[in-house]
């Protein structure tokens, strides 16, 4: 087999060959002998099945395997011929020509390689910015919220009625058509009035009650209520209010509150709490600035500044992915038109090319910048991130991680973490320089 290979640009190559029938026959014979060693055919002992029988029974598969072996040989020789290594191949090589002729096979394969990326001069793309300021008013407002969250509930001794914003301690039992229903009863239940935790009308129906009073509250379960046997039904809840509770919010944090808000701190002071609040607000502002302004500016600038050839098959994969993601947003008419007209599909695919090129280019730039800036993310960090996300969403962390593994998106999660670390370091570096 004589292989002709050439680089079409810095990241892509083509390799072609004419594979003779003689070469294919030799490969088929070798594969057939290997199959014969283990083949089980009635009437023949293992390893003694005649070649004619093997070819009759397994011939189509043997021919396919021989052609696949020839393609692999073409790929290996092509990579070597252009001075590259197999480990630098990215994506799946694409067979662009595969013609069966009387003489054998006439084939061509397109191969893409990881591009060589130079990020020299990227620092000039980092936008300048002034460190966000934090005002005393912002610190004070955040302090008030923290003190409100930390304030314990206390019984309100004042002789007054329940109102929105209070917390009610009460008993209740629900009835439908005069009969109690399962799950409709509780004692000494705490409910923030106005939180809308209960079905519509319930909390409003309690407003005006005084401690020790009872009342029937009439409500209607929503039509889309989760428990189907209750959905759309009218219910009466018999309610008895025990006490009204509220938060007495301190203007300044006491020692106990400081310990709760600054866990693990030996010297928990109001001054230290203010400092932590200031740092938190500043970090939030920097994060918002980075995501809303600095990161987009940097990406646009660095993608335009740095030039290198991209692996074509990776770009095509990205186009396909963006096209698939958009599919659900197409109208029924568009969908039918695409199915009936392949040219329309190709035309629509091309509308995603510019964004796909930018996305692929940025991926390689970020990868190189991460190496230059010694940014790494351990697998354990990926797991910790997913565990934290799972707990925030009330899901089982192990099942959550398993879902990501099954979807094959753990590398994407890792890349996102690397990107976050990288941009944080780049912009922090600029801040320190100012």
Can you read off the two tokens belonging to residue 295? 């990161």
Nearest to residue 422, comparing CAs of 141, 125, 137?
125
Backbone angles phi, psi at 241, to 5 degrees: -85, 125
The three-state (H, E, C) secondary structure of 116-177, written as one string: CCCCCCHHHHCCCCCCCCCCHHHHHHHHHHHHHHHCCEEECCCCCCCCCCCEEEEEEEEEEC
CA 350 to the chain's CA centroid: 25
Assess whether pLDDT exceeds 90 at residue 39: no
pLDDT tens-digit series, residues 200-256: 999 999 999 999 999 999 999 999 888 888 999 999 999 999 999 998 777 888 888
CA 174 to the chain's CA centroid: 43
Positive or negative CA dihedral for 369, 371, 372, 377?
positive
pTM of this prediction? 0.68
Structural domains of the chain, ranges and CATH numbers in brackets: 2-112 (3.30.70.1050), 152-247 (3.10.50.40), 270-433 (1.10.3120.10)
- As to burial, measured by CB atoms within 10 angstroms (0-12 exposed, 13-18 middle, 19+ buried), residue 93 is buried
Beta strands in 232-362 (DSSP E): 234-247
CB of 273 closer than 8 Å to CB of 258:
yes
Nearest to residue 59, comparing CAs of 32, 91, 93?
32
**Mean of the per-residue pLDDT values for the chain?**
90
pLDDT tens-digit series, residues 371-412: 999 999 988 888 888 887 887 777 888 888 899 889 988 888
In DSSP terms, 154 is beta-bridged to: 246
- Rounded to whole angstroms, the Cα distance separating 347 from 254 reads 67
Assess whether pLDDT exceeds 60 at residue 430: no
pLDDT tens-digit series, residues 95-121: 999 999 888 899 999 999 999 999 999
Give every CB contact of residue 48 below 8 A, 6+ residues apart in sequence: none
Which DSSP helix (H) or strand (E) runs through 385? helix 379-392
Assess whether pLDDT exceeds 90 at residue 431: no
pLDDT tens-digit series, residues 115-147: 999 999 999 999 988 889 999 999 999 998 888
- Rounded to whole angstroms, the Cα distance separating 43 from 209 reads 93
pLDDT score for 433 = 45
Which DSSP helix (H) or strand (E) runs through 431? helix 410-433
Give the chain's length. 434
Assess whether pLDDT exceeds 90 at residue 360: yes
Give every CB contact of residue 59 below 8 A, 6+ residues apart in sequence: none
What is the CB neighbour count within 10 angstroms for residue 108? 17
């Amino acid at each position: 087999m004589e292989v002709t290979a050439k680089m079409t640009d810095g990241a892509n190559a083509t390799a072609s060959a004419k594979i003779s029938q003689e070469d294919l026959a030799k490969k088929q014979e070798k594969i057939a002998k290997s199959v014969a060693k283990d083949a089980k055919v009635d009437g023949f002992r293992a390893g003694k099945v005649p070649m004619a029988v093997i070819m009759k029974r397994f011939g189509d598969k043997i021919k396919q395997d021989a052609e696949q072996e020839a393609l692999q040989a073409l790929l290996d020789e092509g990579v070597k011929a252009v001075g590259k290594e197999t480990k630098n191949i990215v994506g799946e090589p694409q067979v662009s020509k595969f013609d069966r002729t009387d003489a054998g096979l006439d084939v061509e394969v397109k191969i893409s390689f990881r591009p060589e990326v130079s990020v020299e001069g990227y620092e000039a793309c980092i936008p300048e910015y002034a460190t966000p300021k934090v005002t005393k008013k912002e610190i004070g407002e955040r302090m008030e919220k923290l003190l409100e969250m930390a304030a314990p509930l206390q019984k309100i001794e004042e002789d007054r009625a329940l109102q929105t914003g209070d917390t009610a301690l009460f008993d209740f039992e629900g009835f439908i058509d005069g009969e109690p229903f399962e799950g409709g009863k509780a004692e000494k239940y705490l409910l923030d009035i106005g939180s809308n935790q209960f079905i519509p009308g319930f909390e409003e129906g309690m407003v005006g009650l005084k401690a020790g009073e009872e009342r029937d509250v009439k409500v209607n379960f929503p039509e889309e209520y989760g428990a189907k046997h209750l959905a759309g039904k009218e219910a009466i809840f018999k309610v008895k209010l025990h006490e009204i509770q509220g938060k007495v919010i301190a203007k300044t944090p006491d020692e106990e509150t400081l310990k709760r808000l600054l866990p693990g701190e030996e010297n928990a002071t109001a001054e230290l709490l203010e400092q932590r609040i200031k740092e938190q607000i500043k970090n939030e502002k920097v994060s918002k600035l980075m995501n809303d302004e600095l990161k987009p500016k940097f990406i646009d600038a660095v993608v335009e500044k740095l030039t290198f050839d991209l692996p074509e098959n990776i770009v095509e994969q990205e186009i396909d992915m963006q096209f698939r993601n958009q599919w659900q947003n197409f109208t029924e008419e568009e969908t039918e038109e695409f199915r009936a007209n392949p040219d329309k599909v190709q035309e629509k695919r091309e509308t995603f090319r510019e964004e796909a090129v930018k996305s692929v280019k940025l991926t390689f730039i970020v990868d190189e910048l991460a190496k230059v800036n010694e940014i790494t993310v351990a697998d354990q960090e990926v797991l910790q991130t997913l565990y934290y996300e799972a707990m925030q969403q009330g899901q089982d962390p192990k099942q959550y991680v398993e879902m990501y593994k099954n979807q094959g998106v753990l590398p994407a999660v890792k890349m996102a973490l690397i990107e976050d670390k990288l941009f944080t370091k780049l912009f922090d570096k600029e801040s320190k320089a100012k």
